[in-house]
Amino acid sequence: MISFDFTEEQQMLVDSVRRYAEREMRKSIHDMDEARQLPDGLIDKGWELGLIPSSIPEEYDGFGEHSAITGVLYAEELAWGDVSATLALLAPNLVSIPVLEYGTAEQKESLLPKFCDDEFFCATSALVEPSITFDPYNLKTKAINEDGHYILNGNKVYVPLADTANYVLVYANEDGKTQGFLVEKDTTGLQIVAREHNMGLGALPTYKVNLENCKLPATAKIGGEEGLNFERLHAYSNVALAAMAVGQAKASYEYAVEYAKDRQAFGEAIAQRQSIAFMLADMATEIDGTRLMVWETAWKLDQGENASQEATLVRRYASDMVLTVTDGSVQTLGGHGYIRDHPVEMWLRNGRGFAIFDGIAIV
Amino acid sequence: MIDFSLPDNIKEQNQRLFMVASHFMRPIAREMDDKEHTKPWDFINMTWQVTSSQMKRRVKRLEKELAGEEVDKSGGNSFGTRGYMPLIYMIEMLSWGDAGIYLCLPTAALAGSAIDAVGTLEQKNRFLPRFSKGKPKWGAMAITEPHAGSDTSAIRTTATLDHETNEWILNGEKSFVTSGLMAAKDSDGILVVWATIDASAGRRGIKSFVIEANTPGMEVLKLEKKHGIRVSDTATIKLENCRIPYENILGNPEVQDKKEKKGFQGAMRTFDASRPLVAASAIGIGRAALEFTKEALEKEGITIRYNAPKHVLTSIERDFMDMEANLKAAWLLTLKATWMMDQRLPNTIESSMAKVKAGKAVTLVTQKAVELLGPLGYSCDDLIEKWMRDGKINDLYEGTGQINTLVVARRILGYDRNQLK
């Protein structure tokens, strides 16, 4: 039966995440971007929301079930607060969800409880490669099976929190298929090369990571011999990023609305002119439409359906939308939108990134 | 709980209407477009069986209510379906069949929506039962005038009360009346007309009136020759000393107090219900074009590679995915606006958003489809060019895309009509 209502649990979750985004994230967005550093305690406070344990079943010390629809609801709220901090806070999902969905019994038992502790358990993954011909379904990073071991070679970028991660889930090409390999920190051949400096996501430490003859035991491969279903994980990631794009766009749109109603020109608020008002109305419409596509795709995934096409579509659509909206917000503020005192310029820098970030979040 | 699964009644309805659309609409779509204004009587007689019997159930409930009995008021509407959700699925599927022929469906249509929105129980019982029996009948809504479209305050058609006979006398000219010929002349239907009872009062003086077909003084002057939806008649109707009973006025017969805006807003509320219906029709046309394009590409060995990386995607694949995503966003906005309608939640913003987005999406999808398909798309041998012509109306009627954007803009900014013109 078609419905757009939240469950009571979802409403409570969304409310508490929104409170965190509003009270904790928002106050630091400017300074953390300038300092290129997450403020002390921000992630720990976010961890108290229990978002990641809430998707892990009780038998592994969590208190819930994995649900994409719940995931996209909290991802949007968090991203409304700040995208950099959101990606840091949710980085452990990059390991916990692939393990939960495709891990062997041993992998689940040994790894999942680590994500249910009271303290933030840092983990991350490496998918994107530094090439304009990057193709997640045909990776240049290779995994070769040699005498019961895997040898990984290749270069990765956009690896969030790589320097502090206990595990890096490296995606590599094994016989033409994308598979995931769990690399523990300090493994020989795992090189955390350098912190990146990108146009946006200033506060999120992301790293270039190289794999040079990185030798792993056979047990490092997620799901053992059978491996994982990358297409499906990619769909979970695409809806997560699309949801965050919606959150980012909403933040920017709201700021533009407030500004346009306040800013006077020619004797009235600029929002009273159709050229501004219509741009804002279009933004609102596109944000809503994209959100509904995110929900529908997440709902399909939760039904166990193959929603890979839908996830690609919504990710593409959301990436375009967030660029249009964040750009429109800068445009609404005019010259002021270009000044770093207002957050819209940062949001435009973040917004452009959604077409490029791949696999750096998952719900 | 967020849920996109279809209830069984809509699934069954979809299957049934898919058969109707593919067997009784598609095969005659081209011919009807060529003949313009010739009615698809087989389709009309067949669908009348369904729409009139659905209406019978509605009328029974209205009769009971009039007799003072307790009835379940949820969901009935003038198209005969229970709730708006099955209705938008119906319109989407029939428009996938053919949007022009869908518009010929014999129902109370927007006249019924207006009576639903502001009519009294007595009026509903007077005007709606005709749509449940006898020969096929149509309802139509007459708002636009030659010099006044979306600016309804400029309406010049007058309604003057003759105190001696207790009749309203209507004078003026109405244009762009969808199914106006069928409603006013060629069936025992009804026309809902917007007219002013006090020209100096602007919007506050505008009321809606029900005129029964073939009332003396009402004349169909001409039928428009249009870009698309040619089978549907779009009439110009002249009212010259057209007398109707006092009781045919819908809503409050007084000029509204300046502070009290409810009367006009009541009339405007009709649009909250009708705009998602237009959106659904747009999406049905868009889906037809999208599916045809996909099949035509597949025949040439071109499949859309959703997971291909950027440097490999062709421009056709990118275009196609954009078309698909836009249509999907529009459809989901329509579903939400409709769901809110059925939940009796205020949905002015959502309903206008859906209409704006669907109008844009169908325009994009059908125009792109003609482009992608090349000579095949432009040729009258197939229906793609027709879908492009049919689709465009959805960005124009029930308020142009711009007017609906204005509705959204005012609401999100909290402005009234003077603050945002």
The burial of B198, by beta-carbon neighbours within 10 Å (0-12 exposed, 13-18 middle, 19 or more buried), is given as middle
Q: What is the pLDDT of residues A225-235, one digit of tens each?
A: 999 999 999 99
Q: Which CATH number is B262-413 given?
A: 1.20.140.10
Rounded to the nearest angstrom, the minimum Cα separation between B364 and chain A is 15
Give backbone dihedrals phi and psi of B6, rounded to 5 degrees, phi first: -85, 135
Confidence at residue B268, expressed as pLDDT on a 0 to 100 scale: 72
Q: Is the pLDDT of residue B263 over 60?
A: no
Flag if A288 and B85 touch (Cβ within 8 Å). no
Average pLDDT over chain B reads: 93
CA distance B284 to B61: 31
Residues forming beta bridges with residue B82, ordered by sequence position: B76
Q: Largest Cα–Cα distance in chain B? A: 79
The sign of the CA dihedral A176, A178, A179, A183 is positive
pLDDT interval class at B258 (50, 70, 90):
low
**Is B344 near chain A, with CB under 8 Å?**
no
Confidence at residue B80, expressed as pLDDT on a 0 to 100 scale: 65
Please tell me whether residue A46 adopts helix, strand or coil conformation. helix
**Residue keyed to tokens 């990023």:** A241
Tell me: domain A230-353, CATH 1.20.140.10, correct? yes
Q: Is the pLDDT of residue B37 over 90?
A: no
Flag if B336 and A4 touch (Cβ within 8 Å). yes
**Is B5 near chain A, with CB under 8 Å?**
yes
What's domain A123-220's superfamily in CATH? Butyryl-CoA Dehydrogenase, subunit A, domain 2 (2.40.110.10)
Q: Are strands B190-196 and B139-142 parallel, antiparallel or unpaired?
A: parallel
CA atoms in the 13 A half-sphere facing the CB of B251: 29
**Is B333 near chain A, with CB under 8 Å?**
yes
Boundaries of every domain in chain A: 8-116, 123-220, 230-353
- Write A334-342 long-range contacts (CB < 8 A, 24+): A336/A259, A340/A30, A340/A34, A341/A30, A342/A255, A342/A259
CA distance B117 to A201: 50
Chain B residues lying within 8 Å of A274, measured CB to CB:
406, 409, 420-421
pLDDT interval class at B270 (50, 70, 90):
confident
CATH topology for A8-116? Butyryl-Coa Dehydrogenase, subunit A; domain 1 (1.10.540)
Flag if B353 and A299 touch (Cβ within 8 Å). no
ipTM above 0.90, yes or no: yes
Q: Is the pLDDT of residue B256 over 90?
A: no
Flag if B309 and A136 touch (Cβ within 8 Å). yes
CA distance A42 to A65: 25
Confidence at residue A9, expressed as pLDDT on a 0 to 100 scale: 93
Flag if B1 and A6 touch (Cβ within 8 Å). yes
**Among the options B212, B324, B350, B398, which is catalytic?**
B398
Q: Which of B242, B252, B240 is nearest to B167 (CA)?
A: B242
Flag if A282 and B419 touch (Cβ within 8 Å). no
CATH class of the B139-250 domain in this structure: mainly beta
Give backbone dihedrals phi and psi of A206, rounded to 5 degrees, phi first: -120, 155
Q: Is the pLDDT of residue B69 over 90?
A: no
Q: Are strands B167-178 and B234-245 parallel, antiparallel or unpaired?
A: antiparallel
Residue in A132, A133, A280 nearest the CB of B412 = A280
Ranges under pLDDT 70 in chain A = none
In chain B, residues under CATH classification 2.40.110.10 are 139-250
Residue in B312, B353, B410 nearest the CB of A285 = B353
Chain B residues lying within 8 Å of A2, measured CB to CB:
3-7, 85, 335, 339
Flag if B325 and A308 touch (Cβ within 8 Å). no
CA distance B7 to A171: 41
Confidence at residue B78, expressed as pLDDT on a 0 to 100 scale: 67
The burial of A271, by beta-carbon neighbours within 10 Å (0-12 exposed, 13-18 middle, 19 or more buried), is given as buried
Token digits of residue B225: 């020759």
- When scoring B2, B89, B334, B365 by the number of chain A Cβ atoms within 10 A, the one with the most, hence best to mutate, is B2
The sign of the CA dihedral A109, A115, A116, A121 is positive
CA distance B142 to B206: 13
CA distance A330 to A344: 6
In chain B, residues under CATH classification 1.20.140.10 are 262-413
Confidence at residue B265, expressed as pLDDT on a 0 to 100 scale: 64
CA distance B137 to B134: 8
Confidence at residue B105, expressed as pLDDT on a 0 to 100 scale: 93
Flag if A135 and B312 touch (Cβ within 8 Å). yes
pLDDT > 70: percent of chain B? 95
pLDDT interval class at B172 (50, 70, 90):
very high
The sign of the CA dihedral B101, B105, B106, B111 is negative
CA distance B353 to B348: 8
Q: Is B398 a catalytic residue?
A: yes
Residue in B4, B311, B350 nearest the CB of A2 = B4
Q: Is the pLDDT of residue B259 over 70?
A: no
Q: At what angle are helices B401-413 and B348-373 packed, to 10 degrees?
A: 140
B337: nearest CA in chain A?
A: A4
First to last CA, chain A: 24
Q: How far is CA A159 from CA A191, A199, A204, in A?
A: 12, 15, 10
Average pLDDT estimate for B194-208: 90
CATH class of the B8-107+121-132 domain in this structure: mainly alpha
Chain A residues lying within 8 Å of B349, measured CB to CB:
284
Interface of B with A in 51-70 (CB under 8 A): none
CA distance A261 to A270: 7
Q: Is A305 left (phi over 0), alpha (psi -120 to 50) or beta?
A: beta
Rounded to the nearest angstrom, the minimum Cα separation between A152 and chain B is 23
In chain B, residues under CATH classification 1.10.540.10 are 8-107+121-132
CA distance B421 to B415: 9
Query: Between B266 and B409, where is the model more confident?
Result: B409
What is the identity of the amino acid at B163? H
